[in-house]
Amino acid sequence: MTDESQKEKLRQHFARRVTAQARIVLDLWQKCSGETSIETAQLDELSGATDKLIRYAQRFDMARHATAGEQLLAALQAHQADGADSNVTLPTIRQAVEALSQATLRRSDQNQEESPRAFRKTPIYLALSSQEMASRLVRQMEFFGFRAAAFEDPEELIRECHQSKPETMLVDITFGGGPTSGLDTVERIQQQHETPIPIVFVSEDDGTIETRLRASRCGGEEFFYPAVDPGQLIEKIETYTHGNTVEPYRVLVLDDSRAQAKFMETVLKKAGMRAHIITDPMQIIDALDEFSPEIIILDMYMPGCTGMEIARVIRQQDRFHSVPIIYLSAEDDVGKQLQAMSLGGDDFLTKPIDPKHLIATLHNRGRRARSLLALMIRDSLTGLYNHTHTLNLLEQELARAKQKGHGLCFVMLDIDYFKKINDSFGHPIGDRVLRSLSMFLKQRLRKTDHIGRYGGEEFAIILPETSESDARSVMNEIRERFSSLKQPAGEQEFSVTFSAGVAAWQGENAQTICERADRALYKAKEAGRNCVISDSQHTG
């Protein structure tokens, strides 16, 4: 390696360190933005992170970041001053944050009104003995929309975890030089936090039960021995970062006592769940249609009908056949409780209700219900929606677009030369490519978009409220970035491309827009693959 290329490699490494610190500052601001005032502790944390950013940026000659950081720190200090007018200082802080945000955008994101995808709000830290592997993983993870930072020194890692708790960490057992120094470091870090950080441990030499037990006791969720390739590690990290995006459970409560219903609503909302309360059993059908609950709580005895009768009516509808139903009653006769559960119920809680018991029951039932639903509607390999559910979602989004007068685009996507990948590297590597693209799409698209595995190496994407030009632009951005990603296969690496066809909704039904997107995909294949073509480019 020449001196010049070595300098460029160091410059890129330092640039990543500065932008990683800048994103910590932006994330801290995001936590307190929208408030009319900022708490002292938040202000101190934000000021400390900004001061660190300035020092990093000045040390590594990144002038834009240094200037933006200095402006932000001055605005924060002005806000903290006695007698400061928040109506004056807060807009100044927001302007400085915006300048820092613009400085932190990647070159590919410049001159766009909105970044094509956002990084995760909380970081992922890598503590590996091999800095070459750490740098390689950081680059790979940034492709997937993760905000990752690699560390070389245990003390620096401990300080960073204290300042900004990571979402998860990848730690080598020998990080720091000693046989178990990585474990020592993690144990110190976990003592700083009330809830443990999920850790993915890797080890090249030590797979003993003693080491595995110690790793498990200090937050180890996974233990790889011997260490595995970057693709598998990123898939595991994705698993443990996904928990933060869990939607609250939707719970429908039917209780003829208004006081009891209000109590239930308070308990559920305090636990972070979405509650829909009704006191009239005759409203149950409308409530089911409007709220689409994941869990249903029924009072056992109500004027005019019983909870068991309501449960039978609910179970007559296929879409609610597997939704958990929990009965509430003062009835303490076990025989009657068992009879009630045999008639469509899943659990029985006795009044007066212990809030902790109720919430624990709902969480257990909710997790199981979601797991069963996922088995029914998701593809087992990629975790994306299966063919049937994707088409159901398309029908729903078309109805919504028609009702609200919004646009919609449907995309058909196909991996290029996928058979050749399977033939050259084997089906396990082919499966990993499918999972890699699935994860890439999930990270780059919006939460409101729907992604499905249509079949084999073909994917379908529903983009609500999206114009044809925007859909093409987004898919091209994803295509270019994905083709730059190196797919590992043992000692080798290879790149993968895909072709895509885009169809903008023109008022037709689901089958027609699918056919148009499929024709556009065929044209993209004919045009040489590795491109995105819209249906309108080849019609009229």
The CATH number for 310's domain is 3.40.50.2300
Distance from C-alpha of 394 to C-alpha of 461, rounded to nearest angstrom: 9
Last residue of a domain, one of 188, 213, 245: 245
**Is residue 5 one of the residues assigned to a domain?**
no
Asked if 288 and 175 sit in the same domain, the reply is no
Going by C-alpha positions, the residue among 436, 431, 424 that lies closest to residue 485 is: 436
In a domain, 369, yes or no: yes
Q: Which residues have CB under 8 Å from 539's CB, separation 6+?
A: none
Domain finish residue from 202, 230, 245: 245
Tokens 């790889």 belong to residue:
224
* Same-domain status, 369 and 396: no
> Is the domain of 177 the same as that of 129?
yes
**Residue 114 domain flag:** no
Inter-helix orientation angle 63-80/3-32, to 10°: 30
Amino acid at 526: E
Contact yes or no for 147/120 (Cβ under 8 A): yes
Per-residue H/E/C for 215-246 = HHHCCEEEEECCCCCHHHHHHHHHHHHHHHHC
Domain co-membership, 71 together with 145: no
The answer to whether position 313 is within a domain reads yes
Q: Is residue 116 part of a domain?
A: no
CATH at 449: 3.30.70.270
pLDDT recorded at residue 348: 77
| Cβ–Cβ < 8 Å for 389, 452 | yes
Q: pLDDT (tens digit, 0 to 9) for every residue of the chain, 540 residues total?
A: 455 555 555 566 567 778 778 878 887 777 665 444 567 777 888 888 888 888 888 877 788 888 888 888 888 888 877 656 666 677 788 788 878 877 775 433 333 333 333 444 467 899 998 888 888 788 777 777 677 889 999 999 998 888 888 888 999 999 999 999 999 999 999 998 888 888 999 998 888 999 999 999 998 988 988 766 666 677 777 777 654 456 788 999 999 888 888 888 899 988 888 999 999 989 999 998 888 899 999 888 888 888 888 888 888 887 788 889 988 876 666 666 666 666 666 777 777 778 888 888 888 888 888 878 777 888 888 889 999 999 989 998 998 888 888 899 999 999 999 999 999 999 989 998 998 898 889 878 888 899 999 988 999 999 999 999 899 999 999 999 899 888 888 778 899 999 999 999 999 999 999 999 999 999 999 999 999 999 887 543
pLDDT of residue 114: 36
Q: Are residues 180 and 216 in the same domain?
A: yes
Q: Name the residue with tokens 């870090």.
A: 189
Put simply, whether the predicted model's pTM sits higher than 0.85 gets the answer: no
Per DSSP, what are the bridge partners of residue 291? none
- Based on the fold, state whether residues 325 and 365 are members of the same structural domain: yes
Does 438 share its domain with 309? Answer: no
What DSSP string runs through 82-110? TT--HHHHHHHHHHHHHHHHHHHS-GGGT
User: Are residues 24 and 128 located together in one domain of the fold?
Assistant: no
Q: Are residues 425 and 527 in the same domain?
A: yes
Is 294 contained in some domain? yes
In a domain, 118, yes or no: no
Asked whether the beta carbons of 453 and 384 are under 8 A apart, the reply is yes
Q: What is the pLDDT of residue 115?
A: 38
Domain boundary among 189, 220, 245: 245
**Residue in this structure with the two tokens 């009704």, named with its chain if needed:** 278
Structural domain count, the chain? 4
In terms of residue numbers, what domain contains 492?
A: 387-538
- The answer to whether position 301 is within a domain reads yes
448 shares its domain with 323: no
Q: Is 480 helix (H, G, I), strand (E, B) or coil?
A: helix
Q: Are residues 144 and 199 in the same domain?
A: yes
Helix (H) or strand (E) holding 314, with range, is helix 307-315
Same domain for 160 and 264, yes or no, is no
pLDDT at 125: 92
Token pair of 392 as six digits:
């159901």
3-state SS, 13-72, equals: HHHHHHHHHHHHHHHHHHHHCCCCCCCHHHHHHHHHHHHHHHHHHHHCCCHHHHHHHHHH
| Spatial contact of 199 and 125, defined as CB atoms under 8 Å apart | no
